[in-house]
Every structure is written in C-alpha cells, then in structure tokens.
Structure 1
Amino acid sequence: MAGGIGSRFWPLSRNAMPKQFLDILGLGKSFLQLTYDRFLKIIPPERILVVTSDQYKELVYTQLPTLPVHNVLTEPYRRNTAPCIAYATYRLLKTDPQATVVVAPSDHLITGDDDFLGTIHCALQLAAEQDVLITLGIKPTRPETGYGYIQAVKKDPITIGTHLAYPVKTFTEKPDPEMARILMESGEFYWNSGIFVWSLSSIARQLEHWLPEVSLPFRNGLSLYNTPHEAKFVHKVYEEIRNVSIDYGVMEKATNTYVFSATFGWSDLGSWESIYMHYPRDARANAVPAARTLLENVQDSLVYSRQEGKLIVVKGLDNFIVVDTPDALLICPKDETQFRQLFNDIAHNHEEFV
C-alpha cells in the first residue's frame, strides 16, 4: 500500500512527493524501495502488487523499475485501506484464487529482515492451512501513545514453527499515556503493525460479510480486470465507494482474527516524533540528523536537515522539532496535536507548500 500523503512529515513530505517515496533516514533508498527489496527476498516481482494513488504511478514506475507495470494498481481517490485491499483482492482472485497474501504498508521501518521474513513465512503457512485473518503484533517496549493496540487471548494459541498466533479479543485505538502504560504492563496487548496475512478466499468472505457495499462493487468487475476497461470501471467504483479502514470495517468485527506475536524491529515512523525516537540522542537528548549544526541551550529536540553545506544554528529550544528544507522551515513543539493544528493552517493559507 503506497497511496498516502504523509502529512505528518511536512515540510519534507508533500503532495507531489510523499513520505513513502523519500529517503528520510538517509539510507540511499526510499521507504517504498526498502519494502520492495525486502519482499523480493521471498517473493518474485511478478507476484508483488503496489496500490497507489493515480498521481503517484510514475513515481512507482521510476523507483521500482523491475516491477511489472500492470502490477501497479492506481486509485483515483483516497478511500482508506478497505477499498484499497478490496481492489487488490478481487484483482488477484481473477488470476490466482488460491493465493495467500501479505498486505503491508510501504512506509514502515523494519529492522532484522531475516526475523521479519521468517515471521511472514510462518504466517503465510498458517493462512494457507486455516480460515484466519492474521495481523502481526509487536510486543510493546514502551507505553507508546501513537500506535493502536491489539489484545490477545493468551490461551489456546496456534503454534507455527517458533511463532504463536493468539485469538484477538479487542482492538484499541491510540491510548493516552496512562492507558498505554496499563496496556503494556498487562502483557496481553501488542502494537498493531498494520501488516496482515490471509488467503484471498478468507478475506473475500469477510469483506463480503462485513463490508458488502465496498466489496461487491469490486467483485462485480472480475471480468474487467487486466483488460483495457479496468481503469474506467475502477474510477466509477471509487467515485461511489465510502471511506473506511480495514481495521474498523473488518478486523474489529470478524471472529477469525489472530495476532501473530512478532519480535522483529518495527516502527510505523508516522511522525517527526518517531524520527526523533529512531535516531541516537546526545547528552541533552537531542537527535540531530543534519550535516552541520550549532546548538546552544537546546534539549529534547529534533534538528533535521538533508541540505549539505548549510549551517543550522539553534538556541534556547526545549522539546521542539526543527526541519529545514529548501523552500520551507518548520519550528514547532513536538506535541502531535499542535503539529496537526499547524498543518491544517498551512494547508488552508499556503496550499502551494503542501
């Protein structure tokens, strides 16, 4: 899935070049390229689909030159994850109805590829053998308020290799700090990674049961997929279909959902705060992924720049984000609520910079 706009990474992420196509971490590849390369270790390119916004298809073609062009599915409008997954599901059902599938965001950070791919292999095995919807859960290492949580029923797990799959009891939205601490300490909750594994038949059944208004229009187009009429058909479906996430529309309601306990390193890198947490911090708890800086009386802050030869001088900030780009400079408290409010103001008053 590669269709988001990454607004929480403004001013680096813009409508014309969003987060998934950027090398934010300075690794030499975009998040999309890193995700694609990771899956290439176990899946050939002809069996990888990328679902993205129509405006980003050329970026996908450019960044993933070995991906077959017809494996890039484009959405004319953003309608969240359920329509995106439904489109890919029925497109695949036409050509490979027995397939098991991994659904993954293109812009997450994964560390420990061998551990990750081993987990994926075991989850695919379980999904091929049983009628289950699997989400990969990450054991919390801190009381994180930026992630959703999944509560597992810690009895009668399914064992696949060295991995355990637990029935899901509840999904919990992003908690406040105190609730996050309680969830972590309970030992029953996992971070919701947003990575899913299932068979096409299993997800199609659940989509048709819980979201018929989303799934049936795509099912009705089976004869049109992989034909010259596909784009026009999909455009019409997206004009009428509602915006709904797969978590809310299916995963929170289905009775055959399992959380797969995973141990690989993971972050959704969903905000500048998460970038701050990713980088090493100095003695004053500053993260400074910038070439040339001078900091005085600065603490608990992120100073970010990818511009070579430019000196960044900061004085007297506590718990701030400083992000420098060629045409925009962000100086803002790390508080996520304040950033959202600020971004809304920017979008309203300075749309050309969004």
Structure 2
Amino acid sequence: MNKNYYAILMAGGVGSRFWPVSTTEFPKQFHDMLGTGETLIQKTFTRLSQIIPKENILILTNEDYNNIVLEQLPMVKQEQIILEPVMRNTAPCILYASLKIKKQNPDAIMVVAPSDHWIEDEVQFCSNLQHAFDFCERDENLMTLGILPTFANTGYGYIEFDKLDSRPVKKVKQFREKPDYATARKFIQSRNFLWNAGIFVWSAKTVLKAYEEFQPVMFAHFMNGYEALNTPKEAAFIKDNYPLAQNISVDYAILEKAQNVYVLPATFDWNDLGTWGSLYDKLPKDEQENAVVNATVYLENATNNIIRTEGKKLVVIDGLTDYIIVDKDDVLLIYPKNKEQDIKQIVSKLK
C-alpha cells in the first residue's frame, strides 16, 4: 500500500433525524443501522483500509466519543483519533487534521470521508478513489466524488460541472444548495448535476494552500499551534483555541472560492443514510414492502413501513401505511415517513 495515502474519517455528527436510535450520547455512526453485524463506522474503516494503510486512517470526532471509537475500532491507536472539544462544522476540523497529516508526511494525499454513509460496490469505490488520488498527485487539484442523481432529491446539495467537459474528471462550475423540488427536477434534466456526497480528495499541500489563500484568519489561527501538533502540547492548544475557530463548512470556506476544483462522477451505489426513509430504501422488504430490523412482526393491512426494535421484540400492527415505527429503551416513535425531516425539530423541542 502507498504510505502517502491518508484518510480523514469524519465521525463527529449526531444524526438527530435517526432519533430515538441515534442520540447525542451514541450517534448513528456507532450503530449497526442495517442489521449487518457491523456498525457504520466499522464498515467505512474496513472499506478505506482496502486502499489506505490502517495506521494512516485518522478518525475525526468529538472528544465525547473517544472511548466508543477505541471500542469499535480496536486496531486504531489513540494518536489516530483527532478530538474536537466543540462542534465547529467541517472547515476547522479538516484544516486541523490536514495540518497534522502535513507535519507527519508532507507528500500526503488524503480522502475526507463521512463515517455514516452506505456504499455497496466497494470495488468500484476503491477504483474511483484510486483515480482521484492519481489526479491529485499529478497536479494541484481539489477533488470531490459526485453521485449520479437517480431522482429529484431536495435533501442533498448539488455539484454543477461543465457540460462540454468530455473527460472522466469534470471541472466544477459551482456548488448548489439544497434545492426545492422544481429546481431539483431542472438539475436532473440538465444532466450536468451530481449529488454532493461530501467525499473530498486532495494533497495536504494543495488544501493547505487553499486555506491560506481563502481563509487566512483561520489558517493563521491554527498555524499558531503548528509546532505543538503531534506532540504532548497539542491537546492544550486545541482546547484553548479550537472553540475560537469560525463555524463554517469546507464547501463555503474554500471549495466555492477555488478555481481548481474537479468532480469525478462516482460509479458506486451510495446512500447517505440521513433519514429513516433513506435507510428504508436500502433494507430488504417483505411482500407488503415493509422493512424490518431486529423485530419479530405480525402485520395486517400494513404496507411501506420501517419497523425497528431492540432484542427481537414482537410488534403487532394493523392498518398503518408509510410509517416509521422505532422502539428503543423508554422511547417509542410512530411517525409518518413523509414528515421524517421534522424529527430533528421534534428532538430539539423535547430537549
């Protein structure tokens, strides 16, 4: 394996739309959401380790989840876990991790990947990732892997690429925010839009050069502690200075400003597993299109539901269609699938 290949595995999110299974104390990336026997972060780590040395895979997470990461990924050493004292979106944490990698290996090429997405064709994923690594190794490029849209999804951001670019890797024209349905349909019909999966590839040198140019204040802020990185002094510097960093995404911070941004249309199946509905899409169904995880069911006049319990609990349902039914500990959720985006607001109100 190429010792210059690195990964930043993003594992700090809360996944509140998957409540009550995903909680602040134990988010969805640490759950076996699909009943496969592996948690989402375990699946992602295994997939990345097919092309990246295991010791070069860094886990970026909140300090509250340090022990969970060590428990679920026993092959990972403590120094591979990058801990955020507070949540500050993706730009500060990627900068922090990139500086650590650059100090360790100035020739590093890295992928930034979410820990809670579902990718089925891992052979194609590795092939696409290798293509991206090669592209970023040759030139100073910032890259993302885009997903060919299958329907007018209003829950994803989109990447618009140059229609006239016939190369496998396309020049990005612009990033688009989550659209309304009519706009999403126009994107699909244009045939030069991809879903933004939040998977990025670049060299340490190139991405840090972009931060220095487009986010000089943030770059200088973290460079003040460069000498402390990868030493015992790092924790104290991060504890005092990380909370002062601007709360901004890497898309806004550098990708929407840079001119050397490219996208590779991915050839693997992908699902961001962002909601119960997206999980339902990936699960096997019975004859009435019900998806069942960890439950024993008796169903009458029940169709298109997702049912999940702990410990094979018996669930009896009559007369429900298109519902989310989730039982966990002292919480029972029975909620329409078409209102699943509201679960995040429900959780906030309950808090």
The corresponding residue for 2:7 is none
1:101: how far off?
0.6
The corresponding residue for 1:352 is none
The AA in structure 1 aligned to 2:202 is W
For the pair 1:254 / 2:258, whether they are aligned, the reply is: yes
Deviations 1:186-239 (A, max 9, x none): 111111110000011111111122222322222221110111110010111212
1:63: how far off?
1.2
The corresponding residue for 1:121 is 130
Partner SS for 1:299: coil
Deviations 1:32-53 (A, max 9, x none): 1111111111111221111110
Runs of 5+ unmatched residues, structure 1: 159-163, 348-354
The corresponding residue for 2:144 is 135
Partner SS for 2:153: coil
Question: Could you list the runs of 4 or more consecutive aligned residues of structure 1 that deviate by over 6 angstroms after TM superposition?
Answer: none
Q: 1:295 aligns with which of 299, 302, 316?
A: 299
Query: Where do residues 136-151 of structure 1 align in structure 2 (5 Å cutoff)?
Result: 136-151=145-160
State, as a whole percentage, how many aligned pairs show the same letter.
44
Answer with 327-336 or 189-198: which moved more. 327-336
Q: 2:225 aligns with which of 213, 221, 224?
A: 221
The corresponding residue for 1:43 is 52
Partner SS for 2:317: strand
The AA in structure 2 aligned to 1:311 is L
1:283: how far off?
4.2
Partner SS for 1:307: strand
* Change in CA separation of 1:338 and 1:68 when aligned onto 2, cut-off 3 Å: closer
The AA in structure 2 aligned to 1:218 is F
Deviations 1:259-281 (A, max 9, x none): 11111011110111111111233
Asked if the contact 2:275/2:341 (under 8 Å) is kept, the reply is no
Asked if the contact 1:108/1:266 (under 8 Å) is kept, the reply is yes
Asked if the contact 1:333/1:339 (under 8 Å) is kept, the reply is no
Asked if the contact 2:288/2:304 (under 8 Å) is kept, the reply is yes
* Number of residue pairs the alignment of both structures matches: 341
Q: 1:103 aligns with which of 81, 100, 112?
A: 112
The corresponding residue for 1:209 is 213
For the pair 1:166 / 2:170, whether they are aligned, the reply is: yes
For the pair 1:345 / 2:320, whether they are aligned, the reply is: no
The corresponding residue for 1:73 is 82
CA distance in 2, matches of 1:195, 1:236: 29
For the pair 1:8 / 2:17, whether they are aligned, the reply is: yes
The corresponding residue for 1:331 is 334
Query: Where do residues 180-329 of structure 1 align in structure 2 (5 Å cutoff)?
Result: 180-308=184-312, 310-329=313-332
TM-score by length of 2: 0.93
The AA in structure 2 aligned to 1:201 is K
CA distance in 2, matches of 1:33, 1:337: 26
Deviations 1:69-117 (A, max 9, x none): 2111100001011111000011111121111111101111011111000
CA distance in 2, matches of 1:114, 1:337: 32
CA distance in 1, matches of 2:318, 2:93: 45
The corresponding residue for 1:351 is none
CA distance in 1, matches of 2:228, 2:314: 55
Answer with 214-223 or 232-241: which moved more. 214-223
Asked if the contact 1:20/1:31 (under 8 Å) is kept, the reply is yes
CA distance in 2, matches of 1:199, 1:184: 31
CA distance in 1, matches of 2:318, 2:211: 53
Asked if the contact 1:284/1:299 (under 8 Å) is kept, the reply is yes
CA RMSD after TM alignment? 1.5
Asked if the contact 2:16/2:343 (under 8 Å) is kept, the reply is no
1:291: how far off?
2.7
Partner SS for 1:11: coil
Partner SS for 2:178: coil
The corresponding residue for 1:27 is 36
Asked if the contact 2:88/2:243 (under 8 Å) is kept, the reply is no
The AA in structure 1 aligned to 2:196 is N
The corresponding residue for 2:92 is 83
Asked if the contact 1:155/1:166 (under 8 Å) is kept, the reply is no
